[in-house]
């Protein structure tokens, strides 16, 4: 596969990741896509090789899909504490607090998304 086609695939993966991560926030979605477009036109770190830049874009796309979750404050009259609705989707990486509770524990790097159920989710 040529470097050009790898770069286009990485760019497409980045665009899909922004669509997943920012699907209900058009302002942030368009800003993220504009930043990605400008990064493709003039790479932010010209010292990196083309392959390293492509890998960086792929890593950013994976991070956006797995680790970024948007929250929206839920307004309500009877709430003493604010509540937030989180946009958790199928690609979201849900880990446990094992690494936080035990600093010597090894962090699992290949966690899969688990179904998320929220009893007080309002639609």
Residues 26-39, buried b or exposed e (16+ Cβ, 10 A)?
eeebeebeeebeeb
Q: How many CB atoms lie within 10 A of CB 14?
A: 24
pLDDT band for 108, please (50, 70, 90 cuts). low
Q: Give pLDDT tens digits for 44-74.
A: 888 889 899 999 999 999 999 988 888 888 8
pLDDT confidence band for 120 (50 / 70 / 90): very low
| Angle at 19 (CA atoms; ends 41, 27), nearest 5 degrees | 80
pLDDT at 77: 60
User: In which band, very low, low, confident or very high, does the pLDDT at 89 lie, cut at 50, 70 and 90?
Assistant: confident
Distance of alpha carbon 18 from alpha carbon 35, whole angstroms: 11
- The Cα 65–Cα 13 span in angstroms is 10
Give the residue extent of every domain in the chain: 1-68, 69-123
Contact criterion met (CB below 8 Å) for 71 and 87 = yes
For residue range 3-41, list pLDDT tens digits in order: 899 999 999 999 999 999 888 889 999 999 999 999 888
Of the two residues 34 and 106, the one the predictor is more confident about is: 34
Under 8 Å between Cβ of 18 and 29: yes
């Amino acid at each position: 596969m040529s470097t050009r086609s790898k770069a286009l695939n990485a760019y497409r993966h980045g665009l899909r990741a922004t669509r997943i991560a920012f699907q209900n926030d058009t302002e942030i979605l368009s800003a993220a896509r504009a930043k990605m477009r400008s990064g493709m036109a003039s790479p932010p770190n010209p010292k990196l090789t083309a392959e390293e830049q492509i890998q960086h874009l792929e890593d950013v796309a994976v991070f956006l899909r797995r680790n970024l979750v948007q929250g929206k404050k839920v307004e309500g009259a009877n709430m003493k504490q604010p509540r937030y609705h989180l946009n958790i989707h199928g690609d979201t990486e849900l880990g446990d607090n094992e690494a936080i509770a035990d600093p010597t524990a090894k962090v699992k790097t290949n966690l899969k998304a688990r179904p998320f159920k929220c009893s007080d989710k309002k639609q």
